[in-house]
Every structure is written in structure tokens, then in C-alpha cells.
A and B are shown apart, each in its own frame.
Chain A
Amino acid sequence: MNMLNYIGRRLLLMAIVMAGVVVITFTISHMVPGDPLVANLGQSAMSNPEIVAAYEEKWGLNKPLPEQFILYVRNMFKGDLGTSIRTKRPVLYDLSVYFPATVEMATLATFISVVFGMLFGVISAARRNKAADQVLRAVSLVGISIPAFWLALLMLYVFYFRLNIAPGSGRLSLAFLSYKSETGFLILDAIKNGNMALLKDVLSHIAMPSIVLAASTMGLMTRTVRSSMLDVMGQDYLRTARAKGLTERQVIMNHALKNGLIPSVTMFGLSYGSLLGGTVLVETIFDYPGLGWYAYQSATTLDYPAIMGVTLVIALINCVMSLLIDIIYAFIDPRVRY
């Protein structure tokens, strides 16, 4: 019962956060100096009052701000996030096109960062202050500090331009021209239909952006796992394990790992949320048609409905992720329920 109460309380808090996000995003995006009309109409069209009036009428820009807000919220509850001023398509449709691409990339990036981050962290802790540790610490530091856009360009130059082992930009190569995805998730499409050629093409395109996106989280993960493993490895029960005559390998794999990896659970959840929302630069450089790219384009053209849609989605993901983490923690540690 306590647990249900806790989840209920958290859901209520989440609803309040989302309401705050809607109000703040709406206010800020409409307060930005600039006018969506001038960003979307040509100069000559702007000087024609009839065109301006028709445009304002069409996009509801002639209504007072509070009225626009009420209309937006009312439509939102009906499942209508409005129509994008720039693409002229429903925002919900646009999100359904761009969001799966980003989910695919962020999932892969999280996967890479978790697998390699944990592996590097464990090795680093086990070989503390030895050569392997120094190298891995240097790698994680580079991963954290290197700017994503620079790493992206560098990787393109080396692996695409020089070595020719990776394709350039985009999500698919020209061999799959005009491919219409069934699920929005190309990897799922390929697995579902057993299309190995498509799978290979998708993976080859998604690899570099995912690695770039993963670099910084992987570095953080390595450091977190390393320090928590070192903490654990200094504890008495491990000394006992060693005293029993177990090899160092057995000590780490059977005893230290379980406890040493707990902090990475939190990191995993939070990093997934932030990766989903932090793909703007990577998607722009790799011309990867995802949510980050859509957000960037919408912001530069003051496409209010699209800006609102993207913000809502990202806020919702972060809320859900932190809710999930809290629930998992509540299970692990009952003290947080109170």
C-alpha cells in the first residue's frame, strides 16, 4: 500500500511538472524577440497586408496570447499538438517520424556507453594505477571533454573520407531510396522482415553518430564504475573472500561486481533521458533526421507548435525516466518511500 501511495504521489508530482513545462515553454517561446511571420514569409509577402492577415488567421497568431494558450491546452488534451508552421504537417505526425530515429540512436548510444563504460570501469579498478588503468582513465577523460561536434567531424574525416569503412551522412544509403518504414524504427523493420541488407545499412549509418553521442556518457560511466568498484574492493567482505583463497578474478566477478555496479543504474536512467534530448549537434552534423534536428529547425523558424511539441516530449521522457529510477530505488531501498 505504501508503495502504491508513493507511486501515486510521484505521478501527481509529474503532472504538476508537466503543467509547469507547458506554461513556461509557451511563455518563453512566445516572448522571444522575433516574429514567426518574418521567419516564414518572404520579404515581399510580408509587405502585403492580405497575405499577412491570412497567415495570422491560419496559424492563430492574431489571437491574444492567453487565448492562444487556452486553445493550445484544450487541443493538447484532445491529442492535437497543432500544426507545424514550417512543415505544415501535424506536430504529432512530425514527432512520430523524427522521434523513433532519435530513440534508435539514443538507445544504441546508451547501450554502447553502458557496456563499454562498465567494462572499462571494472578493468580500470581491477588494474588500479597500472598501465591499463592509466590508458582507460585517459580515454574516459577524452570522452568527457571532447566536444561532440568536433569528434563527429573527426570521425567522418577518418572513417568515411580517409578509410572508407563507414558511410557518410543520413540514416540510409541511396540503395534504399524512398524506403518507407513500417514501425519508424528501421532496426526493428529489418529484424521483423529478416532484411539483412537493410539491417547492415542502418547499423553502418547509425554507428558513428551513436559512438559520438555515447563518448561523453561512456567516460562518465567508466569513472563512476571505477570509483564505486574501488570503494567496494576496499571492504572487509572482499578481504574475507581473498582470505578464503579465491583468485582476484573470482573476487571481482562473484563478489565485487554486484555491489560496484549499483550507481551505474541511476546513471543509466538519467543518461538515457539526456541523450534523447541532447542530439541536436550530432544529428545536424550527420544529417540524421531525428528529434534534435527537428528541434533546431523549429527553433530557428520560431515554429511555436513544433517547439512546444518537442519540449513536451523531452520533458515527458525525463519525467518518466526519473520516475522509473525513483520507483526502482524505492524497491531497493524502502527508506525513500517516506
Chain B
Amino acid sequence: MRKILALLLAVAMVFVLAACGGGTGEKDPGEGSTGEKQVVVGINADYSTFDPAHAYEKSSRMILHEVYETLFRFSAEDDAVIENDLAEDYTISEDGLTYVITMRQDAKAVTGKILDAHDAEFCFKRLINLKGNPSFLADPIASVEATGDFELTIKLKQPTPAILAILCDSAFSVYDSEAAQENGATLDPATDSAQSFFDNNSIGSGPYKLVSYTPNVEVVMEKNEDYAGTSAKIDRVVFKHINDSSMQLMSLQKGDIDFAFDLTASQLETLTDENIIVRNYPTQDIFFLHMNVDETIGGPLANPDVRRAIAYAIDYEGLRELAGNDPSTPMNIIPSGFPGYAGESKITRDLEKAKYYLEKAGYPDGFTFECGAIPDMATDGIAFMDCAVKIQSDLKEVGITMNIQADEVSVYLEKLRSAKYQANIGMWGPDYLDPASQLAFMPGETVGLRSNWTADMAPELAELTAKAKVETDPEKRAELFKEIQIMYSEIPGPVIVFVQPNRALAMSKRVKDVHYSSAYMLIFHLMDIE
């Protein structure tokens, strides 16, 4: 017995010694094993695949944008500008239905193949046919066909001025179609088996190539030496999965990572490290109170005067303070940064007006309603529950009692989709960077229907929406979007937008030339380190 105990203790001691000795064995994140430049990103990532036909998370787009090229892309300098990527030139038919795109002839995939229109045709058809998460982006497309080796013809179902912005999405990545087919890619969802191949390899012509993906651990991409554009300065980018924001903060302060993606507003506020810098980047996300306009579900909230009263009772300034990072409040559904943006909200808190409208609606003593919110979840550093609690206390001052219903995310989404909520705290990030993406809020459209707002309840607005969808003249289009916002506020619609946040990103000071785009997040191929 004595010998056994002694042996166990000896093993324990060896373990403790080995464990304690290894603490500082990690390298400087800026230096890879052979002295190359390396950037390490700490992220609580939601990506689960890097197959362009299946991936739809924002974080996966950040990686796909680096490893694949698309026909068009948003400029790294300005999200509002669309520039050619694989496209060299394009023409639009007079009816706005046919796009003929001429492609560059120097885009060499990491497999060595020059990417052409046949590859693009296969990739787009695969996206459409597989009916994956991002396939809805291709809804406006009627057909796609290679009409030459480097000429692609896309026909649309109806004029869709947002199509160029849609084609910037990583879902429309172009890759070596032959290599993809060798690894199981087909145009039939029943037989396609290439997803696991795409998760561990990239076969595109972007500035980087995907080297490895270990779920919940890391993603590694390395410079593509054959990239036709300006070569990336960073040789290797590592996305290290760090779930907890405090752990991200500590790792950043210790210099183990260069970017901390998910710090909370309060962590960012108290960050005073001389080697760390916090930068704010605009987003097109909006946070809002969403009210059901079906009287049987929404109750008093179906009354426009009640919604007006609530709009005047909310303390927008307080909510902006809560969000931190210098956010703004747009008039309603179109965030700043989009053409047709109608400026900031003109409504400020006015309790007298709120009470006036309550009385007018027949609720002088207020009323009670239920509002769904997701607990323990934050986007852009803003916790949904914090917003709910703040609005709850704001409304209390005019006699409205808002009971918060904390629902886990899957339950929340289920109730939202089936339009069962009387009200809820919502957040929306555009599907693609074009104001047309926001038309989902209109009566009869995706988000509108979540509050049972049908087209016949606001026929004029529905008519304007239909016009805005197909208007190809940029100026007329912007005017239409402005009209939509004004009409939405006059009705008023079921959504009260209270914050358009900025994205605050904490990073090491040694990282230079940082570009951030709402569509692709960090742009690594333009980045450098000291």
C-alpha cells in the first residue's frame, strides 16, 4: 500500500512540474514557426462550414471572402461602392433583366486552373440547386449560363437593381468546378457530398487559401502565392476559437491574440492597455421593438396611437448610451450607410405626447403587455435583455407595464417566425448591403408578417415597396426609399428602431492597415503588422 501511494504521489508531482513549466511556451502571435508574419484572431465564431453553397454566417463570410473571389465585391474603403472582382466588365439589357458579365482571364485557383465562366456557371447553379442556407440570395435569378469561356449571362425573373450587391456575397464565390466535382460536388442535393471537402480545403483564387479547420478550435488560412492581385502581407491568419469574452480580453492583453472579436461594451470601456486600441466601425444592424398588429395577439399594440405613445415614451438617448460605441438612431428601417437613408430619427422622448396618444387610444391609465427577449445574448456588444429592461422602465413612466418574457434563442425564433409574440426585442442585419434587403420589414414581407402586418393593412406602402424593388434608376430609387421611411413613420409601422450600433473591435497596436467592412468584417489581405 505504501509503495502504491508513493508511486501515485510521484506521478502527480511529475504532472504538476510538467504543467507549470509550460506556461510561457507560446510564441509571439505575430511570428509563425518559420518566422513568417502571422495574425491571430480570438473569436467566438458561429461558422460551421466553408462550403459557399451552405455557409451563411457572418464569420464564415470573413473567411470565404479571403479564399474565394466573387464577380463583384464591396470596396474595402467604402461599403457603398461596388467594384469588379472576377468581373472585368458587364452590360445590362434595357429591360434590366439580362446581365452579361465578362470575366478576367488571370484568376488562377489554388489548384492551378484559370477560373472561367463555366466554373462560375457550375458554382451558381450548385448554390441555387442545393437549397442551402444562402440559396435564397439567388431567388431573383431565372437562369445562369456561360455564353463564352469568359462570358457569363445571368437572366433575372424581374428587374433587381440590388443584384450586383447580392453577387458580392460569398455565396456567389467562384471555384474550380472540376476539382469540386472530383470531390463530390454535384448539382443535385441528393448526391452532392462536397461539403466536408470544402470545410477543409479551398479551391478558389482569393488572396488566401484555407489550410485547416478544426471545429471549435481553430481555422488556419495561408497566403495564396498565385493570387492575381496585390499579394497579402500577412503570411498566415489563425482564427482561434475563444468562447468567453473575459478570456478573449486576457489573451489580447497578454499579446496571445491580435484581435478580440467579442468583448462586451463594459469590457471595452474599461480597457486601458497601452498596447491595445479600440476602433469603432459602422454596421448596418438595427435594434428595435417589434409589436404585433393583429388585435387578437397584439391587443392594444395593434392601435397606431398606442404605438405612437410607445415611440414617444422610449428614452432613445439612454438606449444609445447603453449600447456604447457612439451609435445612432435611424428614422426607421433603413440604416445610415445605405442609399435612400432618410436621416436620424426626429422622435425624441416626450412623456406628455406619449400620455396624449395613450389617452387618444383609449388607454389613459396605460395597459400591460408581454415582450419576448433572448437572455444571455448580445450582438455588437449590445445585450437584448439590457434593452428590454431599459424599455420596460421607460414605459412604466407613462403607465404601460411591459412584462419581459425571456426565451432561449431557438424558442424565441420559433415564436417570432409563427408571429406569436405580442411584442419582442429584435435585431436585424441586412442579408446583403443594399436597402432592398430592408424591404423585408414592409407589410406582407418576411419581417412584416412576423407581426401579422399584411399587405392589405397598408396598401399604399405595399405599392411603394413593389415599385422600390424594381426601380433601376439610382436617384428615383433613393427617393422611393425615403418616401417609404416617411410613410412607415406616419402609419406608424410595427417596428420602433431605437439603435443602429457601431461595431467596436479591440486589437493589438502592432496591427496596421486594418480595414473593416459590414459585409466581410476584417479584410486580411490589406493588413500588415509591425
Contacts and interface: CB of A to CB of B under 8 A. Distances in A.
B23 interface: yes
B527 to A, nearest CB: 18
Given A177-B33, A200-B22, A201-B25, A115 B9 contact: yes
A171 B241 CA distance: 11
B23 A160 contact: yes
Contact of A161 (B18, B130, B135, B253): B253
A167 B133 CA distance: 38
Contact of A302 (B33, B49, B133, B410): B410
Contact of B196 (A55, A89, A165, A199): A89
Given A39-B409, A88-B196, A289-B214, A204 B220 contact: no
A48 B136 contact: yes
Contacts of A203: 15, 18-19, 22
Nearest to B16: A207
B496 interface: no
A248 interface: no
Interface in A44-71: 44-48, 50-51, 53-55, 58
Given A33-B414, A161-B254, A178 B220 contact: yes
B215 interface: yes
Interface in B201-227: 211-212, 214-218, 220
B27 A174 contact: yes
Interface residues of B, number: 74
Interface residues of A, number: 78
Nearest to B54: A88
A111 interface: yes
Nearest to A153: B246
Contacts of B134: 42, 45
B337 interface: no
A86 B48 contact: yes
Among A39, A42, A97, A174, the most chain B Cβ lie within 10 Å of the Cβ of A174
Contacts of A47: 136, 446, 449
Contacts of A87: 48, 215
A203 B416 CA distance: 46
A88 B48 contact: yes
B211 A165 contact: no
Contacts of A168: 247, 250-251, 254, 256
A257 B1 contact: yes
Given A39-B409, A47-B446, A54-B189, A207 B244 contact: no
B64 to A, nearest CB: 15
B109 to A, nearest CB: 22
Contacts of B5: 118-119
Contact of B22 (A46, A157, A167): A167
Contacts of B247: 156, 168-169, 285, 287
B410 A38 contact: yes
B240 interface: yes
A301 interface: yes
A298 to B, nearest CB: 11
Contacts of A302: 410
Interface in A110-157: 111-112, 114-116, 118-119, 153, 156-157
Interface in B229-287: 238, 240-244, 246-247, 250-251, 253-254, 256
A44 B446 contact: yes
B93 interface: no
A253 interface: yes
A40 B26 CA distance: 36
B399 interface: no
B8 interface: yes
Interface in A214-245: none
Contact of A200 (B18, B196, B250, B413): B18
B2 A34 contact: no
- Give 5 closest A-B pairs by Cβ, nearest first: A204-B22, A207-B19, A54-B131, A34-B410, A38-B413
Given A35-B410, A44-B136, A169-B240, 9 more contacts: A33-B411, A87-B215, A111-B11, A166-B23, A168-B251, A169-B247, A178-B212, A253-B1, A293-B216
28 contacts: A35-B413, A35-B414, A35-B417, A36-B410, A43-B417, A44-B440, A51-B135, A55-B131, A88-B54, A119-B5, A119-B9, A160-B23, A164-B254, A166-B20, A174-B27, A174-B240, A175-B33, A178-B214, A178-B220, A199-B18, A203-B18, A203-B22, A204-B18, A206-B19, A285-B243, A289-B241, A294-B216, A300-B410
